[in-house]
Amino acid sequence: MKENILEKNNWNVKNCPVRNVLDRFGDKWSILIIMVLGERERMRFNELNKEIHDISQKMLTVTLRTLEADGLVKRTVYPEVPPRVEYEITDLGRSLVPYINSLAAWANVNIKEIQESRERYGVTI
Amino acid sequence: MKENILEKNNWNVKNCPVRNVLDRFGDKWSILIIMVLGERERMRFNELNKEIHDISQKMLTVTLRTLEADGLVKRTVYPEVPPRVEYEITDLGRSLVPYINSLAAWANVNIKEIQESRERYGVTI
DNA sequence: TTAGTTGCTTACTTTTAGTATGCAAATATT
DNA sequence: AATATTTGCATACTAAAAGTAAGCAACTAA
């Protein structure tokens, strides 16, 4: 029924890198974890969990494993008891950090204006 | 029971701009909408919906209203029938676009390596 | 003997996002 | 004159993502 030129030409679906990157990093925690790992060399699981204190253990595990699969984070298990697992950023992951930091800098500058706008808009959000 | 130095010193909670920006733009659609509005001057609701063809109308509405509240997008309603509503990026929103585009450029370069890594990691994700 | 340690996993609940339908009110079509 | 179409939503409902709480292994310290 619906003929869509954009769909026919296969736009914005598989060959859109923006789409792809947002599908990967558009989750709630990936970017924050990359930032934290980008500034500290190696971190253990619980260190990360303290630094990002409002992440749940479950989501920290899940997100770290996804980042590992993506090749952005390296995971090293030391067969000790109690267990020790260290996480570090890879070269690929590190290459992303400056871009995230730039975004964070923008946020730093503009967050006040955003918050004021939101207050002006009303309490309904 | 739990004494946490980081929590005591109020780290990473309210005064962390990274946290703040991720809380705002870490949703599924905000950044993509800003990108699209950043490259086209004014767009109607259905134009946006076609450009980002896999967003639901509901989430497009919700996200646009949030971006409006944040002062990143301006919404103009023309009292016609059928209704016409146009969206455009604000100066504040536009100032964010280059950073997002840089991120997208990074994605463009590295998405292949990420995908390969993911394939190597296994089918389990 | 019991408690503490670490990095998880698993079952369950809550929050967020997606689907489907309906609506107003004018114009276009039959 | 009756019906269909158009646009930008709202709303009720379902699915997916994230949060919560509990437990576990297996060794050490009290």
CATH number where A13 lies: 1.10.10.10
Residue A15 — pLDDT band, cuts 50, 70, 90? Answer: low
Q: For chain A, give me the number of helices (H) and strands (E)? A: 6, 3
Q: In the prediction, which pLDDT does A103 show?
A: 87
Does the CB of A87 sit below 7 A from strand D? Answer: no
> What residues of chain A, 7 to 36, have a C-beta less than 8 Å from chain B?
7, 11-13, 17-22, 24, 26-28, 31-32, 35
Residue A43 — pLDDT band, cuts 50, 70, 90? Answer: very high
Tell me the percentage of chain A whose pLDDT exceeds 70: 85
Highest mean pLDDT among A26-35, B17-26, B70-79: B70-79
> Burial, B19: exposed, middle or buried (Cβ in 10 Å; 0-12, 13-18, 19+)?
buried
Residue B124 — pLDDT band, cuts 50, 70, 90? Answer: very low
| Calculated CA dihedral for residues B20, B21, B25, B31, nearest 10 degrees | 180
Q: In the prediction, which pLDDT does B22 show?
A: 78
> How far is residue B53's CA from residue A2's CA, in Å, rounded to a whole number?
12
Which positions on strand C lie below 7 Å from a protein C-beta? 4-11, 16-21, 24-27
Which positions on strand D lie below 7 Å from a protein C-beta? 6-12, 17-22, 25-28
Residue A9 has pLDDT above 70, yes or no: no
List the domain range (segments joined by +) for residue B85.
5-121
Tell me the average pLDDT of chain A: 84
Find the mean pLDDT for residues B64-68.
Answer: 97
Lowest mean pLDDT among A63-72, B23-32, B35-44, B90-99: B23-32
Q: In the prediction, which pLDDT does A104 show?
A: 84
Nearest CA among B22, B23, B27 for reference residue B60 = B27
Rounded to a whole number of angstroms, the distance from the CA of B80 to the nearest CA of chain A is 24
Tell me the average pLDDT of chain B: 84
The string of pLDDT tens digits covering residues B70-91 is 999 999 999 999 999 999 999 9
Q: In the prediction, which pLDDT does A24 show?
A: 77
Rounded to a whole number of angstroms, the distance from the CA of B111 to the nearest CA of chain A is 7
Question: Domain for residue A2, yes or no?
Answer: no
Tell me the percentage of chain B whose pLDDT exceeds 70: 85
Asked if the C-beta of B112 comes within 8 angstroms of chain A's C-beta atoms, the answer is no
- How many Å is the Cα radius of gyration of chain B? 19
Spanning CA of A60 to C1' of C9, the rounded length in angstroms is 13
Rounded to a whole number of angstroms, the distance from the CA of A110 to the nearest CA of chain B is 8
How many independent structural domains does chain A possess? 1
Minimum-distance CB partner of A111 among B21, B27, B121: B21
The string of pLDDT tens digits covering residues A80-120 is 999 999 999 999 999 999 998 898 889 889 988 998 999 99
Spanning CA of A56 to C1' of D20, the rounded length in angstroms is 9
Find the mean pLDDT for residues B17-39.
Answer: 85
Residue A2 — pLDDT band, cuts 50, 70, 90? Answer: very low
Residue A124 has pLDDT above 80, yes or no: no
> Nearest 5 degrees, angle CA A110-CA A111-CA A113?
70
Q: Give A6's contacts in chain B (Cβ within 8 Å).
A: 50-51, 53
Minimum-distance CB partner of B70 among A24, A26, A114: A114
Tokens 């890198």 found at: A17
Q: In the prediction, which pLDDT does B43 show?
A: 97
